[in-house]
Amino acid sequence: DGGITQSPKYLFRKEGQNVTLSCEQNLNHDAMYWYRQDPGQGLRLIYYSQIVNDFQKGDIAEGYSVSREKKESFPLTVTSAQKNPTAFYLCASSARIGGYEQYFGPGTRLTVT
Amino acid sequence: GESVGLHLPTLSVQEGDNSIINCAYSNSASDYFIWYKQESGKGPQFIIDIRSNMDKRQGQRVTVLLNKTVKHLSLQIAATQPGDSAVYFCAETSYDTGNQFYFGTGTSLTVIP
């Protein structure tokens, strides 16, 4: 059963702590993405990766970091430098970058207090 | 940045009626468009896509229309069902923006039984 998994579904952290969100895909896709969703706003791109060991900043990369050591995995770390980390985080993948359908995971809701 | 917007933030329709959700975009070079459906607390689900060399594309109970002259995209849902209640997003991408997707803020569709 192919798809994208994100874990955990809900995550709670204290301010000042780093936290890592997991994203795994078994679709054999080259490209993976991290988006942030806030109420009343469209999805905003945090980071994306076109291929293993390569990733690029999106529009709102400050306070976040990623790695792409394996094709199927693209974890996102929300660092203490991110001023407003509470949000719904969505991971996506596509066969290639650009005009290809993006498949989304179920999301992780992060709450930082 | 790109501007992808929706004309109406909310839409209520009677079960069995047809629904039309609209989206405006600003980049005349946009060449690939997707409509997504997102239920509360879940990741976006692909509905249908269209490339800029087409004006219309049909799926199961859904039709997407693209008017490049006025940079307008619409999603038509035939015989709307209660299970269609969700938020619907449009997304667009183009080569000249680095193939990054830009998402609209969404229209909330409510189907009245």
CB atoms within 10 A of CB B110: 13
Q: Does B51 touch chain A (CB under 8 A)?
A: yes
Please give chain B's pLDDT, 113 residues, in tens: 334 554 458 999 999 999 999 999 988 999 999 999 999 989 999 999 999 999 999 999 999 999 999 999 999 999 999 999 999 999 999 887 777 888 988 999 999 99
Which residues from chain A sit within 8 angstroms of residue B89, using beta carbons? 42-43
Q: Each residue of B33-67: b (16+ CB within 10 Å) or e?
A: bbbbbbeeeebbeebbbbebeeeeeeeeebbbbbe
Q: So what's the pLDDT on residue A1?
A: 52
* pLDDT tens profile B40-51: 989 999 999 999
Least confident of A15-24, A35-44, A70-79: A35-44
- A97 → chain B, closest CA residue: B99
User: Do residues B62 and B48 lie in contact, with contact meaning Cβ atoms separated by under 8 Å?
Assistant: yes
Q: What is the pLDDT of residue B4?
A: 55
B40 touches chain A (CB under 8 A): no
What is chain A's alpha carbon radius of gyration, rounded to the nearest angstrom? Answer: 13
For residue range A56-90, list pLDDT tens digits in order. 999 999 999 999 999 999 999 999 989 999 999 99
